[in-house]
Every structure is written in C-alpha cells, then in structure tokens.
Copies of this chain bind each other. A is one copy, B any other.
Amino acid sequence: MTTQSHKNTVPHMKWWGWGVEGVAFNHRDKPNFRPFVLDQVGVDVDVPGTPPPAFEEIDVPAPRIGEELLAELAEAVGEENVYTEDFDRVVHTYGKGLPDLIKVRAGHLPRAVDVVVYPGNESDVQAVLDAVVAADAVLIPFGGGSNISGSLTPPESEERPVVSLDLGRMNRVLEIDETAGLARIQAGVLGPDMEEQLTARGWTMGHQPDSFRHSTLGGWIATRSSGMQSDKYGDIADITRGLRAVQPGRMLVLRPLPSTSTGPSVREMILGSEGRLGVITEAWVQVHRLPENREIIAYLYPSWAAALAAMQEISTSDASPSVTRVSDDRETAFSFSTQKAKKGLKSTVQKGLFDLLERRGWDMDAVCLSYVGYEGGSARVKAEKAIVGKIVRRHGGIKLGSGPGELYDQKKFDTPYIRDYLLDIGAVADVSETATPWSNLLDIYNGTVRAAKDAYAALGVRGYIMCHLSHSYHSGACLYFTFAFPPATEKWEEQIEQYWKVKSAIQQSFVDLKGTISHHHGVGTEHAHWIEEDISEAGVETMVALLRGVDPSRNLNPGKVIPTHREW
C-alpha cells in the first residue's frame, strides 16, 4: 500500500510534512520574501528545490509483531480498525519535529511502529492496553501527530512489538454543562472539529495552539499545551477540570471539579504524562460563551526592551487581555517580508507611517510588532484598550490598529507550513520555547540569541533566530524562538547533527539562564536531556517513582520524558 488505507475516516497530515495535501507556503505573491531570505541566510528561494520523495521510494521494514497479539488487537477494536500497512505505520512513527521531517523524507525507519489500531470507545482502549501489557509489548497513544518533541516515536532499540493507538475515532463532544461552563469531550477530537461542535451550541474552549488544526484534545493534555489565547482561557492544565484515562487493568476517573485539595494532584500527573501513565480517553474542560466582542489590535514598539517592559506592565495592570504577543525586531522583519504586495493606498499609508516614525528618530530595523487581544462586553473592551494604549505610549509605542490584527488572526495557524517549504530549498527550521520570570526575560533572550549565533558560527553557516513573547503571566512570560539555517552539508544525518548543535545550544541556554526547557511542547525525547537541570535530579527521581509504580515493565510509551542516562 502506498496511500492511506481508507477503512476509516480519520484524517492525517501529509506523511512527509505539515498539514493537508495541496496546502503549502508559497513566496510568489510576497515580493519582499526572496531578498529577505537571500540576505539573511544566503538561500535563493527561486532556485528549484528538492521536493519530498514519493512514498514508493521509502523502504519500510516489515512489522515485528506476532499473530497472537494481532488477533487480540483485532478482537479488541474490530479487524477493520487494525492497520499493518506500510503507509499507516509510517504516518504513526513520527511527529512533525524537524528531525522527524528529515528522517521520514530520508526513509530512515530504524523502528517503525508495527501496527496501528483505532479504538472506537473506552472499552476498546482498555482491551488494547491490557492485551499490550499482557504481551509485554509497547503502546504509544497518537492524537493528531503534530508533536515536535519526539513523543510519538518508538526507541530505536525497542525489541518488543510496538502498537500505535490512534484516538481519531473518539472525536465527539459528548455533553455540555451549560450552567457550569464545562464540556465532556473525547480525547481524539481535532481542534477544528471540536470547536465546530462547541460553537454550534454557542460555546468555545478558546484553546488555540499553533497546531490547532492538526492536534487533539488528548494530545494537548498529554503534553501540557498552551494556546494563543491562554492569557484569558488558561493553559490546558487550567482548562482541564476532570478526565478519564485507561491504565493497565483499571480506569482512572477524575470528576470535574473547579478545585480540590485531595493530596498530590493526580490530574496534574496525567497532564504532561505523554502516554506514560495510561491513555486519556476523555476530559471535562472549561468552555465559555462566545465573546460578545473580540478584537486584536496591533501595536509597534521602537525596541525589544521597550516592548518587554510594556508587556510586563500590562500583566500587572487592571487590564487582562486575551492575547499578549510581541515579536522581536528579527521576527518583525520576517513578518514584513511575508506581506503580500500592497497596492495603492495601503502601500502608501504603510510607507507614510514608516517614514514618519523614521523622522521621529525610530530605528526602523529595531521595531517590534505586537498583538494584543481583547474580549468581553464593550465597556470592558474599551476600558482595557485604554489601559493598554496608555502603557504602550508610555513605552514609546504606537497603535497600528485592528487591520493587521485581523490579518494575524486569519493566518495564525499557517506558520508550520513554512518548515516544509524551507526543507525543500535546503534549509532547516524549528522552534524552542521557554518561560521565565519577568526579571530574567531580557537576559535569557540575549543569551539564547547569542548561543544560537555562536552555534551557527561554529558550524560555519548563516543562520537566523527570531523570537516572540507569546504568553504573559503574573510572574513572567513565555519566549518562543524560531531558528533556521541552511546546513553546511547535503547528507541528512549530518543535517540532523547540525540542527542538534543549534537546538542544544538554545536548550542549554534556557536552563543555564533560569528558564524552563519547554513552556508548552512537552519533553518527549528531544528535551529529556535537560530535564534534570530544569526540575533537579530529585524531581526526575520523583517522577520516575511515579512512572515505575504505575508501569513497572515500561509498556507505556517508554523512553519519553525521562533522560536516557536515567534508563527509564
């Protein structure tokens, strides 16, 4: 089989990249993009690149799984929901991190999953999990497949059969408690499908990660996701009030509660557990009435330091916006480079404004673009805009208005497509995010940019690193870095090595400079190396105690979260 089996209707992303077949980033209508990329990383995007191979070119190893376990899985979920075809196995072997994309394009499959099963309900999941544990096999839960931390891939050394459990058939909003603002939702639902079911009844969960279109509720919970509107709606850890998870031989049931003091929080153990404590089957999540008003306003700051100071002041002000985002000068320049050609008035207005700011003494290479979102009744929105406006002005910024904000809102889920486009033309790109106290934000930013640049220099490549502040909290914020460079080699193994040099420099900078190794992308295998430096060795030992107690034979997504040198 070279294409997906269509025994069921669960949609998947491209086997070799992000998103839907036929949708891709395109620079043809963006006149500033080619000169920008040429200038910054020395790549000419007009030179034809190398598209991904056809699936037929990929050599997929045969499944290593016995008939007996296969029969038990078929018994558990129905034969029509068990897939051993190459295509399905490859789709379920990798997430969408940069190393995943390089490896899958190279047909590198040292340990593909052996079988993919699609349970239809909780008893199916329990039957699968129990069969896997009884057979001493391995189970890896799979949601939308958008993970970029290595959480979906079996360890290369894994000799036991590996079962990928795709939750895609469990995709319904089961119940809405309209008085409490709570919805009971199956874990396998994708973002758009879920929001469609909710908004049909006048509700929203408000959770909007970059991956929204291709990630699931269960995946968000299993990795501690955040979304663009988390300043208002909360991170997924706040949104998730109750859940159900299948553990070996038993069902974990946490009823929906606004708050509770019943010992160490089991809810907060399942959050972020990446399949290592069982399979999340459904959750009770907070939902909200669709807001009366919703506006995203763009602002421009003369410098990154001014922008960060303003963001911090907003976080302690009487305003509580739904979105607080600001890009550094490099990300701002990148954003401008991806603008479509402006014609007539629009072009004149923008040029006019920029000229004016320059005459006022702004360094237009240092400007930082910000988006702030407002939701609520008109009085509240008006009051908050006034508070924020005053803070923006106090820090030398200006308001650009709602036009760019609307554009941002329309395009906000498109960014991940650019990575595949860059890979085609021979450049690698990925992201790393951290969170740290406000007092430390500029330090960690400067240190991380320097670390990436040093790594580029050591590799002898021309690289780019840009950043935005994506979430504000009382005590600090999330910094979200994107980095890209054309590797100094055409061999895929060496490209991954070079990618790792840069990625490692960034992650090391995070822990060295008092940030966390991951704000909302989880740990997987990609960040596990630094987790001891983040939560201390004792923290990892505490976590191991928990994992080992629940899963003594390491049948549940082994090798994730815990560093390899800890051997758990």
A residues neighboring B (CB under 8 Å)? 177-182, 223-226, 235, 237, 241, 245, 247, 250-266, 268-274, 277, 286, 288-289, 312, 316, 318, 320, 376-377, 379-380, 383, 435-440, 471, 473-478, 514-523, 527, 531, 534-539, 541-550, 561
Q: Determine the residue in chain B with the shortest Cβ distance to A239.
A: B474
B475 contacts A247, C-beta separation under 8 Å = no
Contact among B255, B269, B274, B379 for A268, CB-based, below 8 A: B269
A546 contacts B254, C-beta separation under 8 Å = no
Bound complex: CA A260 to CA B543 (Å): 15
User: Inside 8 A of A516's CB, which chain B residues have their CB?
Assistant: 255, 257, 259-262
B474 contacts A259, C-beta separation under 8 Å = no
Bound complex: CA A237 to CA B259 (Å): 10
Q: How far apart are A100's CB and chain B's nearest CB, in angstroms?
A: 18
Q: How far apart are A104's CB and chain B's nearest CB, in angstroms?
A: 24
Q: Determine the residue in chain B with the shortest Cβ distance to A309.
A: B179
Q: How far apart are A402's CB and chain B's nearest CB, in angstroms?
A: 20
Bound complex: CA A379 to CA B385 (Å): 13
User: Inside 8 A of A266's CB, which chain B residues have their CB?
Assistant: 535, 539, 542-543
A250 contacts B538, C-beta separation under 8 Å = yes
Contact of A538 with B475 at beta-carbon distance under 8 Å, contacts A264-B277, A269-B268, A379-B383 already known: no
Q: How far apart are A556's CB and chain B's nearest CB, in angstroms?
A: 12
B550 contacts A545, C-beta separation under 8 Å = yes
Bound complex: CA A523 to CA B262 (Å): 6
Bound complex: CA A312 to CA B264 (Å): 28
User: Inside 8 A of A376's CB, which chain B residues have their CB?
Assistant: 318
Bound complex: CA A259 to CA B181 (Å): 24
Report how many copies the assembly holds. Answer: 2
B543 contacts A264, C-beta separation under 8 Å = yes
Contact of A439 with B177 at beta-carbon distance under 8 Å, contacts A235-B259, A266-B539 already known: yes
Contact among B257, B270, B435 for A260, CB-based, below 8 A: B435
User: Inside 8 A of A519's CB, which chain B residues have their CB?
Assistant: 259-261
Contact among B262, B538, B548 for A253, CB-based, below 8 A: B538
Q: Determine the residue in chain B with the shortest Cβ distance to A530.
A: B262
11 contacting pairs across A/B (C-beta < 8 A) = A180-B440, A180-B476, A256-B475, A257-B437, A258-B436, A263-B274, A264-B277, A265-B271, A265-B272, A546-B549, A548-B549
Q: How far apart are A239's CB and chain B's nearest CB, in angstroms?
A: 9
A252 contacts B542, C-beta separation under 8 Å = yes
B522 contacts A261, C-beta separation under 8 Å = yes
B435 contacts A259, C-beta separation under 8 Å = yes
B180 contacts A437, C-beta separation under 8 Å = yes
Known contacts A224-B262, A257-B435, A549-B549, then 14 further A-B pairs from the complex at CB < 8 Å, ordered by chain A residue: A180-B476, A182-B437, A241-B475, A250-B538, A251-B538, A253-B538, A261-B522, A262-B517, A262-B535, A264-B270, A265-B271, A286-B475, A542-B546, A542-B549
Bound complex: CA A133 to CA B515 (Å): 34
B179 contacts A312, C-beta separation under 8 Å = yes
Q: How far apart are A323's CB and chain B's nearest CB, in angstroms?
A: 16
B471 contacts A259, C-beta separation under 8 Å = yes
A258 contacts B435, C-beta separation under 8 Å = yes
Which of A180, A473, A523 lies at the interface centre, i.e. has the most chain B CB atoms within 10 A of its CB?
A: A180
Q: Determine the residue in chain B with the shortest Cβ distance to A560.
A: B263
Q: How far apart are A492's CB and chain B's nearest CB, in angstroms?
A: 29
Q: How far apart are A115's CB and chain B's nearest CB, in angstroms?
A: 26
Bound complex: CA A179 to CA B312 (Å): 8
Contact among B180, B259, B515 for A226, CB-based, below 8 A: B259
User: Inside 8 A of A517's CB, which chain B residues have their CB?
Assistant: 262
User: Inside 8 A of A537's CB, which chain B residues have their CB?
Assistant: 250
Contact among B383, B478, B522, B561 for A259, CB-based, below 8 A: B478
User: Inside 8 A of A435's CB, which chain B residues have their CB?
Assistant: 257-260
Contact among B180, B252, B318, B544 for A538, CB-based, below 8 A: B252
User: Inside 8 A of A254's CB, which chain B residues have their CB?
Assistant: 535-536, 539
Contact among B177, B265, B377, B527 for A269, CB-based, below 8 A: B265
Which of A265, A286, A523, A527 lies at the interface centre, i.e. has the most chain B CB atoms within 10 A of its CB?
A: A265
User: Inside 8 A of A316's CB, which chain B residues have their CB?
Assistant: 181, 288-289
A264 contacts B259, C-beta separation under 8 Å = no
User: Inside 8 A of A531's CB, which chain B residues have their CB?
Assistant: 262-263
Bound complex: CA A439 to CA B241 (Å): 14
User: Inside 8 A of A312's CB, which chain B residues have their CB?
Assistant: 179
User: Inside 8 A of A520's CB, which chain B residues have their CB?
Assistant: 259, 261
B264 contacts A380, C-beta separation under 8 Å = no
A180 contacts B439, C-beta separation under 8 Å = yes
